[in-house]
Structure 1
């Protein structure tokens, strides 16, 4: 799966970069990199607490914490520098030619990479997608190396701030600027800024077209939207709050996140809370199983659960069969496909207006 367990385990995927807005996430890299399209160095980036890491040249041996950061590097053309990953992408879960490339990357762990294995990997850079990896005041994902241990091993440690800083965000996330800043920053660090610029431009173009079509819709006329994280469990639903990148995806698509009043990234609620919201639309958020048939089966299961469960079968969206079959990963995890998801949602909610 593409980040598989990530949608829940990460505890908050992709919200605003540390205290609001994507500018901060790329300021240091683009500011000092200036001519980064040509791979100019030094390049500096900061973490959620403002600690700076400076690169005198491009990293040569990169380890990624999960499939989302791996995919970004593959899209940037820096995949040949990746020597290992945790939370690997399942076969068939990455788009197009990226899938075969992703399958060639050495798997250091199916989950969080053990500390000893990471420190002994020979990497000179570790890209961390996870929220709360020890050094930033969080509870940590596993036994994370300390700043001193990373330094002793010769490994620079940087974060995808749109994800790792999500829980610390100070305001709701309503755009993809933090994700775009992560792409820009990674491009500067890896000497692939020209490609990063191209990817960001493509995202802006897609989202811009949607905004032109539906951006002027009054708040009260926007349909309410519930992201049903089926794979997170059905006993107690896990919802996306206003610091999560999914809140931006939903908002940009012209909808209202049913739980936009929840400050944070993700939160467990009761089904009575979902019933009280009574959303107009429900996204069947299942993780990519790697094939069209397997994905259809998972979507069918999620839909059937909603249609037969006593607590949910009376919901407006369920009765009207207002379901969207869009995978979890491009909605909740940072990446180029966030913009494509904005477009997909908008086309469903506003038929004839978008695309």
Structure 2
């Protein structure tokens, strides 16, 4: 009788121990939040754990990683010095992390760094049909998350808005197990912008704005799906080419002249300085009757401010001030 009781007790203890082990295992898995699945353009990306060897491309995407304190999850970044978009703030924030490639990286560069994650976008480190894409990196065990603004290159999407940038920060937070930090960061950006807009002096008319990135024969500008359109609208203006269904694209100067922008936004980066771009516009007789040129209404945004990233709120504030000075 005693032996049977002892056996039953042992069995009960074993079952309890097994159940506790299973509970703790599933509880810990649930507490860690993994696996996680996020939407990346037209794909779903599932991760079983936070990336440990991430690479970001371009200055603005890298600053998103820094804003969430993800340096310890990174092995490097790419695509900054080759485009001359390096910013002192980025240099200070990135610490000892190396730039693995001055422009777009190859598969070999990412493999050489033992990367397990690549944060890039279409025309922000990847090209449609190129050698580095989500499809080409998948067999190598490298997960890819795509910049939301850039999704227009491979799929239909709504007009660009600040939500594109917020969405990327929230998804990065989930990917790296920093969801609460990402939510707090996005909320702070939204509140900052809302407070700023609530105290703005109303504009009597909506200023017509042209974004001049580069190019003399044909200007390279930002259309309906490029981040500057969202920044301009948040500041109270209207992009004169927001009817062009592109993010960044070339147009003809005739369209710029015909649409008579009252403010011209200069994107500052590369070999040609913002001042040189302004001087080109001032010195060309074809542009002398454009209101923005005639009245010297130029506003300069750094590349890192004009593309999706943590400095977009600062850019909106500068644009809003420029619009109210111009009109």
The TM-score with structure 1 as length reference comes to 0.75
CA distance in 2, matches of 1:334, 1:305: 27
CA contact (8 A) 1:286 1:298 kept: yes
Matched, 1:188 2:174: yes
Which residue is equivalent to 1:33? Answer: none
Query: 1:88/1:327 Cα in 2 relative to 1: closer, same or farther (>3 Å)?
Result: closer
In the alignment, structure 2 segments of 5+ residues that lack a partner are 1-30
CA contact (8 A) 1:132 1:164 kept: no
CA contact (8 A) 1:215 1:254 kept: no
Matched, 1:321 2:301: no
CA distance in 2, matches of 1:95, 1:201: 26
Which residue is equivalent to 1:339? Answer: 313
- Answer 1 or 2: higher relative contact order, Cα 8 Å, separation at least 6: 1
- Where does 1:42-81 land on structure 2 (aligned, <5 Å)? 42-49=35-42, 51-81=43-73
CA contact (8 A) 2:54 2:76 kept: yes
Which residue is equivalent to 1:255? Answer: 237
Indicate which of 223, 246, 253 corresponds to 1:264: 246
Indicate which of 87, 90, 114 corresponds to 1:94: 87
CA contact (8 A) 1:92 1:99 kept: no
CA contact (8 A) 1:72 1:335 kept: yes
Indicate which of 144, 165, 173 corresponds to 1:157: 144
CA contact (8 A) 1:71 1:94 kept: no
Structure with a larger share of its residues in strand = 2
CA distance in 2, matches of 1:115, 1:89: 19
In the alignment, structure 1 segments of 5+ residues that lack a partner are 1-37, 290-296
How many positions carry a matched residue from both structures?
296
Alignment partner of 1:205: what SS? helix
**Which structure has the greater CA radius of gyration?**
2
Indicate which of 136, 139, 151 corresponds to 2:128: 139
CA distance in 2, matches of 1:89, 1:193: 31
Q: CA deviation at 1:119?
A: 3.1
CA distance in 1, matches of 2:265, 2:244: 18
Q: CA deviation at 1:166?
A: 5.5
CA distance in 2, matches of 1:265, 1:145: 19
Q: CA deviation at 1:249?
A: 0.5
- Deviation readout 1:170-213 (Å, 9 max, x if unpaired): 4322x301110100100111122232123212221232134324
CA distance in 2, matches of 1:146, 1:255: 36
Matched, 1:117 2:99: no
CA contact (8 A) 1:131 1:167 kept: no
Structure with a larger share of its residues in helix = 2
- Deviation readout 1:245-270 (Å, 9 max, x if unpaired): 11110011000111112122122111
Q: CA deviation at 1:337?
A: 0.8
Matched, 1:202 2:188: yes
Cα-Cα RMSD: 2.9
CA contact (8 A) 1:131 1:165 kept: no
CA contact (8 A) 2:232 2:316 kept: yes
CA distance in 1, matches of 2:185, 2:132: 31
